[in-house]
């Protein structure tokens, strides 16, 4: 009997060892690697479009029609009007649907089974978009697209206009406007002539490789009527003052803009004797007429206080601004005066005070700009206005480092075909390294 029990004990012990080894082996089995698990994850991961929404949803893309509302965009796609009111209210902290503008792109996402709108994506501008969840949750999210800033240099000799010359070099048209703003007090952009030249170091803003606008003009040189005009961008780190200065450190921003409207033309200049097109007789024209399309914004050329905003038989709708004890300006023949512009209101330089029209004694759309100095009407285009203010003394050394680095490059001879695209980026790095 005893001889029989021994083999059974050995057998049981052997089975216990096998169970132990099997359990241990199973507990140490290798964990699947990320690469091995990836195909499974990819199989269930949804494919998203450029707005981050599933591509398997049916979509309708369009632009907002004129006078269309938030309701007009989604009610035709199965959203009840009562639901529209709720969605608009919940969206308000993120985006006010009353600000939807005609011409802006939008996209509707539908559920295939019901053809009911599930999402609405609206682009208020090129740099962002708003996603409306039209379901029960009604969530709203505004997404900012990443904007890349690249430094470029462009140069050229003008044959017809600055705008055309820049367009020929595939530069965003906003740069022409920005240049007119930077040099508004030094260069008469209505008298640019063939042979004038320029070199500009500027920031170009891009999304997905597409240029969407212009950032800061870091440095520029404009040769006009044989004279060199410089602009160097500089930010005072202590005060935050952001200005363009000349090579001596004086601000380019003068007390007055050269003109009250952008990119128009002078249809009639200041003259002591001009043949009046309506009255058919010679008389003094103590102002400068800037022809522009009806509705073009008219800007105050300097800081001041509105003394008159009214309608006159000859002046039409007009605004008069007193800037100080020396200077006063007047803007005539407006189609309408801007909202809020009335006597006693303070206005800032560049603020819109009205819109171009042909009211009063006028034959076409224009603004007649009149300028008083010490009570006498004078030709503003012949005045030499003082600078707003120079670089502070405590910042002079730092500004000199920026100015000298850029000026050496701006003064190089113009090159056929422009500069190396990487040149300005390297220059910017060198300037920053000196600070």
Q: How far apart are CA 281 and CA 37, in angstroms?
A: 91
> pLDDT digit string (tens) for 373-387?
989 999 998 888 777
Residue 336 shares a structural domain with residue 273: yes
Q: Residue 273 pLDDT > 80, yes or no?
A: no
For residue 4, is it within any domain? no
Q: How far apart are CA 277 and CA 90, in angstroms?
A: 58
Residue 156 shares a structural domain with residue 241: yes
Q: Residue 261 pLDDT > 90, yes or no?
A: yes
Note the pLDDT of residue 272. 63
Q: How far apart are CA 136 and CA 382, in angstroms?
A: 66
Residue 370 shares a structural domain with residue 269: yes
For residue 24, is it within any domain? no
Residue 306 shares a structural domain with residue 246: no
CATH of the domain at 177: 3.10.450.350
Q: Is 267 helix (H, G, I), strand (E, B) or coil?
A: strand
Residue 94 shares a structural domain with residue 155: no
Which stretch of 23-32, 137-146, 172-181 has the lowest confidence by average pLDDT? 23-32
Contact 130, 94 (CB under 8 A): yes
**101, 120, 144: which is the final residue of a domain?**
144
Note the pLDDT of residue 275. 52
- Residue whose token pair is 């994506």: 121
Residue 205 shares a structural domain with residue 285: no
For residue 331, is it within any domain? yes
Alpha helix (H) ranges present in 28-117? 34-44, 70-74, 81-91
Q: How far apart are CA 278 and CA 227, in angstroms?
A: 39
Residue 363 shares a structural domain with residue 403: no
Find the length of the chain: 435
> What is the share, in percent, of the chain residues with pLDDT greater than 90?
51
Q: Residue 93 pLDDT > 50, yes or no?
A: yes
- What per-residue string of b and e applies to 287-321 under the rule 16 or more CB within 10 Å gives b? bbbbbbeeebbbbbbbbbebeebeeeeebbbbbbb
Residue 119 shares a structural domain with residue 166: no
Q: Which domain holds residue 66?
A: 58-144
Q: Residue 413 pLDDT > 90, yes or no?
A: no
Note the pLDDT of residue 210. 87
Nearest to 301 by CA among 319, 317, 325: 319
Answering whether pTM is above 0.75, one says no
Which stretch of 38-47, 61-70, 105-114, 118-127 has the lowest confidence by average pLDDT? 38-47
Mean pLDDT value of segment 361-374: 92
Note the pLDDT of residue 247. 93
For residue 239, is it within any domain? yes
Residue 157 shares a structural domain with residue 229: yes
Q: Is 15 helix (H, G, I), strand (E, B) or coil?
A: helix
Note the pLDDT of residue 53. 92
Nearest to 354 by CA among 367, 371, 365, 343: 367
**94, 110, 144: which is the final residue of a domain?**
144
CATH of the domain at 288: 2.70.70.10
The chain-wide mean pLDDT, for the chain, equals 83
- Widest Cα–Cα separation across the chain: 147
- Tell me how many domains the chain contains: 3
For residue 336, is it within any domain? yes
For residue 39, is it within any domain? no
Note the pLDDT of residue 18. 46
Residue 108 shares a structural domain with residue 88: yes
Note the pLDDT of residue 361. 87
> pLDDT digit string (tens) for 50-81?
899 988 889 999 999 999 999 999 999 999 99
Q: Residue 37 pLDDT > 70, yes or no?
A: no
**382, 399, 423: which is the final residue of a domain?**
382
Residue 226 shares a structural domain with residue 275: no
For residue 335, is it within any domain? yes
The alpha carbon of residue 418 and the mean position of all alpha carbons in its chain are separated, in whole angstroms, by 25
Q: Give Cα separations from 171 to 13, 212, 415 (angstroms).
A: 86, 11, 17
Q: How far apart are CA 78 and CA 134, in angstroms?
A: 10
Note the pLDDT of residue 310. 97
Q: Give Cα separations from 42 to 45, 55, 243 (angstroms).
A: 5, 15, 52
**Confidence category of residue 340, pLDDT binned at 50, 70, 90:** very high
Nearest to 92 by CA among 138, 58, 46, 128: 138
Contact 305, 327 (CB under 8 A): no
Mean pLDDT value of segment 270-289: 66
Residue 152 shares a structural domain with residue 137: no
Q: Is 214 helix (H, G, I), strand (E, B) or coil?
A: strand
Contact 273, 346 (CB under 8 A): no
For residue 236, is it within any domain? yes
């Amino acid at each position: 009997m005893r001889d029989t029990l021994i083999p059974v004990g050995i057998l049981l012990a052997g089975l216990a060892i096998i169970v132990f080894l099997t359990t241990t082996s199973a507990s140490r089995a290798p964990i699947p690697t990320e690469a091995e698990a990836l195909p499974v994850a990819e199989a269930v991961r949804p494919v998203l479009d450029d707005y981050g929404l599933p591509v398997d949803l049916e979509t309708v893309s369009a632009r907002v029609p004129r006078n269309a509302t938030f309701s007009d965009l989604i009610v035709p796609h199965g959203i009840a009007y009562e639901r529209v009111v709720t969605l608009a209210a919940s969206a308000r902290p993120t985006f006010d649907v009353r600000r939807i503008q005609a011409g802006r792109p939008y996209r509707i996402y539908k559920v295939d089974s019901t053809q009911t709108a599930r999402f609405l994506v609206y682009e208020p501008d090129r740099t962002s978009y708003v996603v409306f969840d039209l379901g029960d949750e009604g969530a709203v999210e505004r997404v900012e697209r990443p904007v890349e800033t690249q430094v470029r240099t462009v140069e050229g000799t003008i044959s017809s206009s600055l705008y055309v010359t820049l367009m020929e070099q595939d530069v965003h048209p906003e740069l022409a406007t920005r240049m007119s703003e930077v040099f508004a007090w030094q260069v008469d952009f209505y008298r640019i002539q063939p042979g004038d030249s320029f070199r500009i170091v500027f920031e170009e803003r891009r999304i997905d490789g597409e240029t969407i606008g212009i950032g800061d003009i870091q440095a520029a040189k404009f040769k006009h009527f044989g004279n060199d005009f410089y602009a160097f961008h500089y930010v005072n780190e202590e005060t935050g003052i952001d200005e363009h200065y000349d090579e001596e450190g004086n601000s380019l921003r003068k007390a007055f803009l050269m003109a009250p409207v952008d990119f128009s033309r002078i249809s009639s200049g200041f003259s002591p004797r001009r043949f009046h097109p309506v009255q058919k007789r010679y008389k003094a024209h103590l102002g400068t007429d800037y022809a522009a399309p009806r509705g073009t914004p008219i800007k105050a050329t300097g800081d001041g206080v509105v003394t008159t905003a009214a309608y006159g038989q000859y002046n039409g709708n007009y605004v008069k601004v007193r800037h100080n004890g020396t200077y006063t300006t007047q803007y005539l023949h407006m189609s309408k005066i801007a909202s809020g512009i009335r006597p006693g209101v303070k206005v800032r330089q560049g603020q819109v005070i009205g819109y171009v029209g042909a009211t009063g004694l006028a034959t076409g759309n224009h603004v007649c700009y009149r300028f008083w100095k010490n009570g006498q009407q004078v030709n503003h285009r012949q005045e030499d206005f003082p600078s707003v203010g120079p670089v502070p003394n405590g910042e002079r050394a730092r500004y000199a480092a920026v100015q000298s680095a850029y000026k050496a490059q701006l003064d190089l001879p113009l090159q056929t075909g422009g500069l190396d695209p990487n040149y300005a980026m390297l220059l910017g790095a060198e300037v920053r390294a000196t600070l």
